[in-house]
Chain A
């Protein structure tokens, strides 16, 4: 096995919830030493979020926190104390990368802004990821990702045309932001490798949301088109939707079906046992099908309603028609394709026996990502971080611990 690509890279991860921690998680998977710094008194939001091991709430039980922070060392630090801030400054001096996701201005209030860190660590690469960015009239807008989904256009783009929108599932910009954060951070690290020069990266999660609507924005700038929610319909293809199937164990089940070309339509029509539709010349092309999307949705839904979702998937896929059941967590955990890729990772865990985390989303053939340990319990590695990584002697460590800063 080759050396992990980021081994030796030191990361002080001051970020919290999802959009920041997911970046540090990726760095840890590929060999970086990542210290996750958290308040021991003001519990970080992700620790309070579902899902929980055995369904029990508790700050050590969140599987969301677990998957965002696996592989990291955990340090509990009270930044409201001078001793706590002194430790934070030492960490910032030690680190190659400092990551944070506080409201703009918060790090500066602790003396941990880029300008201050750079004085002690000139080539540091700092990532500040926030909802709106560090500058601009709305920089101070507070919020979690559902606010991000509103200010980046997504709340409006999910829903039925005849209803109020419902928005995407969860804080959408928390999912897309870290993907871009990782790319610009790795590019900055490569620049540092080549030139010795560090930098500060200001990434606004809401801007990443808008960036992924680039085609719709260009369309607006060009011809004033305002993008519309359209249920599960597509602009170019029909039938295209999510259809109810037989309920299973008292739970509604659904299958997604997308007919993307004329051959797929013929194959679907054959399965529907609707020779009238199959023979209908008006439906032979995409434009004709789009014009009669409503009628086709009714026909498809009538067919799926009497079958199990996984059977519809199998039948249609056998004919080359794009279809997949809408997976629940239980389906996801048993999905043979995800299992084939080894995506769900099981790790030994002191309290739960086994911890479950998502794997790296990119399979590297020579230096694959490794999840070396589950996410830390709060303050789990205080001594290891201060003594082992920062090199504090026992007396100094004891002094810091006695001051109450490690909480």
Chain B
């Protein structure tokens, strides 16, 4: 049993929206992923491997997991008719086909809302369905640039950096799932469905920690770097963007460590804790304990903490961390309350004792279709999640879904297949 048991979701998304349906499926909804007869283009999305000699998309394998699959002729009127029939029995509909595409296929909100006024219809686009940039050519990187989180993320003088694993549309898809359930609560009151319009560009404002609001509220020089390096405040050069984020990264025995020499009343105590740890391990004597990082900005202003002091602190820290392993640092972080942690790569994540302890990973499918992946993304005190099946093969559940949702019998299904409306 899942929290959303009993609800039906018709999912026409590609790689830009698969995640939304996966989230609802994990919570127990019956999610049917509809693909064109040639297969979803998400089946070709990176990262790619090979299975049975065929290209195998790990993006499809994970974000289409837990759904049933049906192959439909999206280009033909008979296939579209099948989709409209399915939509008439669905509680939710999601698409990410691009502005106007679903409507042109007779699958827009206007059409489907007439067939099924209780339908919650979600659409995920890059910029929106209308407005001056609705027709923009898009990609994950371009949306990331347009939404705000790209520009401030620079490494020295080089251009700003995105996350190497595309994230823009994943954030938007998760928002679509949230918007759909808000609309669902409205429907629970009045029985009416509605359109849920999600544009990835707008979603990404949340990924800037409020920085996009700096100009409207008149904060002309938000010195973000000062949060990273206290002595950046003494650098009067202005932008602060020149301060390297490398200052937060340190080498340890088996990789990298993330550690801010954080300052101020909120985060300074954690830095004090760090030097207590060093002290307890007999490193640096008492000298490193002489600064209170809670009030470091004042010490800097009074000239009691200089760039030379900073160099000394950093050198001692680098030497100390260089002799530690990620695992030792994790233990210290827990016992001393440190804001200091090893930088995990995907191998570390796969072998994390914490994630194993919480049964985070799951293997769906068996034999040649077995796939291990992240599973339950929250823990609920009652049965809440259902992880049932691997990502569907093309048309794997076509018969099953036509029977369950539409009550079609064998001859009706055969006729659709013969006419190439479904596969």
Contact at B62–A218, with CB atoms within 8 Å?
yes
Contact at B196–A155, with CB atoms within 8 Å?
no
Q: Which of B72-80, B310-318, B345-353, B405-413 contacts A (4 or more CB under 8 A)?
A: B345-353
- Bitwise interface map of B from 168 to 189 toward A, beta carbon under 8 Å scored 1, else 0: 0011001111110111111011
Contact at B222–A158, with CB atoms within 8 Å?
no
Contact at B205–A358, with CB atoms within 8 Å?
yes
Q: Is B378 an interface residue (CB 8 A)?
A: yes
From B147, which residue of chain A is reached at the shortest CB distance? A327
Interfacial residues of chain A within 95-134, with CB under 8 A of chain B in the complex:
114, 132-134
Interfacial residues of chain B within 297-344, with CB under 8 A of chain A in the complex:
330, 333-334, 337-339, 341-344
In angstroms, how far is the closest chain B Cβ from the Cβ of A177?
10
- Bitwise interface map of A from 140 to 153 toward B, beta carbon under 8 Å scored 1, else 0: 11111011011111
Q: Complex formed: what's the CA distance from A165 to B197 in Å?
A: 35
Q: Complex formed: what's the CA distance from A260 to B15 in Å?
A: 14
Which residues of chain B are within 8 angstroms of A146 by Cβ–Cβ distance? 248, 258, 260, 339
From B220, which residue of chain A is reached at the shortest CB distance? A55
Contact at B128–A67, with CB atoms within 8 Å?
no
List 10 A-B pairs, minimum CB-CB distance, nearest first: A362-B179, A64-B210, A340-B131, A256-B145, A5-B186, A214-B62, A258-B139, A51-B219, A166-B245, A186-B181
Q: Is B209 an interface residue (CB 8 A)?
A: yes
Contact at A215–B63, with CB atoms within 8 Å?
yes
Known: A153-B344, A220-B346, A332-B148. A170 touches B209 (CB 8 A): yes
In angstroms, how far is the closest chain B Cβ from the Cβ of A359?
8
Q: Is B101 an interface residue (CB 8 A)?
A: no
Q: Which of B264-272, B275-283, B394-402 contacts A (4 or more CB under 8 A)?
A: B264-272
Q: Is A92 an interface residue (CB 8 A)?
A: no
Tell me if A's interface is mostly helix, strand, loop or mixed.
mixed
Tell me if B's interface is mostly helix, strand, loop or mixed.
mixed
In angstroms, how far is the closest chain B Cβ from the Cβ of A271?
13
Which residues of chain B are within 8 angstroms of A208 by Cβ–Cβ distance? 377
Give chain A's interface residue range (CB within 8 Å of chain B). Answer: 35 or more
Q: Is A363 an interface residue (CB 8 A)?
A: yes
Contact at A187–B164, with CB atoms within 8 Å?
no
Q: Is B357 an interface residue (CB 8 A)?
A: yes
Known: A166-B153, A210-B360. A225 touches B185 (CB 8 A): no
Q: Is B371 an interface residue (CB 8 A)?
A: yes
Q: Complex formed: what's the CA distance from A217 to B167 in Å?
A: 15
* Residue among A55, A139, A160, A210 making CB contact with B374, cutoff 8 Å: A210
* Residue among A66, A144, A154 making CB contact with B163, cutoff 8 Å: A154
From B379, which residue of chain A is reached at the shortest CB distance? A202
Interfacial residues of chain A within 13-42, with CB under 8 A of chain B in the complex:
18, 22, 26, 30
In angstroms, how far is the closest chain B Cβ from the Cβ of A124?
11
Contact at A199–B381, with CB atoms within 8 Å?
yes
Contact at A63–B145, with CB atoms within 8 Å?
no
Q: Is A287 an interface residue (CB 8 A)?
A: no
Q: Complex formed: what's the CA distance from A221 to B130 in Å?
A: 42
Q: Is A364 an interface residue (CB 8 A)?
A: yes
Q: Is A54 an interface residue (CB 8 A)?
A: yes
Q: Is A91 an interface residue (CB 8 A)?
A: no
From B124, which residue of chain A is reached at the shortest CB distance? A362
Q: Is B144 an interface residue (CB 8 A)?
A: yes
* Residue among B197, B209, B227 making CB contact with A363, cutoff 8 Å: B197
Which residues of chain B are within 8 angstroms of A235 by Cβ–Cβ distance? 46-47
Contact at B128–A232, with CB atoms within 8 Å?
no
Q: Is A222 an interface residue (CB 8 A)?
A: yes
Q: Is A227 an interface residue (CB 8 A)?
A: yes
* Residue among A150, A226, A264, A358 making CB contact with B206, cutoff 8 Å: A358
Q: Is A138 an interface residue (CB 8 A)?
A: yes
> Can you report 11 A-B residue pairs in the complex whose CB atoms are below 8 A from each other?
A140-B334, A144-B267, A175-B171, A183-B23, A191-B4, A204-B378, A214-B63, A215-B165, A242-B145, A242-B162, A356-B217
Contact at A183–B153, with CB atoms within 8 Å?
no
Q: Complex formed: what's the CA distance from A202 to B248 in Å?
A: 29
Q: Is A370 an interface residue (CB 8 A)?
A: no
Contact at A256–B141, with CB atoms within 8 Å?
yes
Which residues of chain A are within 8 angstroms of B159 by Cβ–Cβ distance? 232, 241-244, 254, 326
